[in-house]
Amino acid sequence: MMKTVSTSKSHGGVQGVYSHASEVCACDMTFAVFVPPQAAKGPVPVLWYLSGLTCTHANVMDKGEYRRLAAELGLIVVCPDTSPRGESVPDEKDNWQFGSGAGFYLDATEAPYAKNYRMYSYITEELPALIAANFPADMERQGIFGHSMGGHGAITIALKNPGRYRSCTAFAPIAQPSTAGWSRPALEKYLGADEAAWRTYDATLLIADGRRFPELLVDQGTADSFLEEGLRPQLLEKACRDAGMELTLRMQDGYDHSYNFISTFMDDHLRWHADRLR
């Protein structure tokens, strides 16, 4: 059963925060949903935003500046958490790149993480069912986007579910997590030492293995301190070029990895999705 944590009117719509007991993640999960004013007349498209490392639903809700234009365009915006949480959930409290806040939008297979860390199934199965049952959502018109770890999640989920999502964009995504220094150790702990199991959660390798999505939009700041070591958009660019897949990669001069960057280009991404969800 879904519980309402809070609701607040914004731009004629309602920004809510909700919680529920997740069977998939075996713990309580919290998420945010913005419902635009157009939903009073019937179901509207759904846009999923996946946050990055260390974040919760609250980061983009508080700093993403999406509500004004989402209300104008008539988009429901769903902001899930980034991982399971709770005293019974295994974690490495001193490691911001793993465990709590760092679910990497995958389904873990290794003990002791396999019981709780099932964010892929949570985002693609359990939470959509909850949204469909409780909100005026047109589930035939869905888009997905995200930031950093969430950008990685958005692209990999879209590539594996191209019939579900009509649009996909990302801010500074981890392009190839199987070789990036800040994600490779997490993949090994969640999925085991056999790197073949990692391919299904790596955008560049999914594309190399034949997965396709009609088109992607990616914004990346040139002053991002994680650009060369963790993000490496050139690898995604090459994978798309080799596959003949359409990618709009915009290198934004002087922008970093923060929500100052995300909020600057949020309107562009919302319009991109709205155009494809009409």
pLDDT value at 182 more than 90: no
Instruction: Judge whether 257 counts as a catalytic residue.
Output: yes
Query: Which H, E and C letters describe 180-227, residue by residue?
Result: CCCCHHHHHHHHCCCHHHHHHHCHHHHHHCCCCCCEEEEEEECCCCCH
* pLDDT of 107: 98
pLDDT value at 68 more than 90: yes
What is residue 40's three-state secondary structure?
A: helix
In the set 57, 224, 269, 273, the catalytic residue is: 224
Distance of alpha carbon 2 from alpha carbon 21, whole angstroms: 8
187-243 confidence digits (pLDDT tens): 999 999 999 999 999 999 999 999 999 999 999 999 999 999 999 999 999 999 999
pLDDT value at 1 more than 90: no
Instruction: Judge whether 224 counts as a catalytic residue.
Output: yes
* pLDDT of 133: 98
Retrieve residue 76's tokens. 């429901």
In the set 83, 100, 148, 178, the catalytic residue is: 148
pLDDT value at 267 more than 90: yes
pLDDT value at 156 more than 90: yes
In the set 57, 147, 257, 269, the catalytic residue is: 257
Domains plus CATH for the chain?
Answer: 2-277 (3.40.50.1820)
- pTM score, whole prediction: 0.98
What mean pLDDT is predicted for residues 150-163?
98
Of all residues in the chain, the percent with pLDDT exceeding 70 is: 100
- 103 alpha-carbon distance from chain centroid: 11
Matching residue, tokens 């990346």: 220
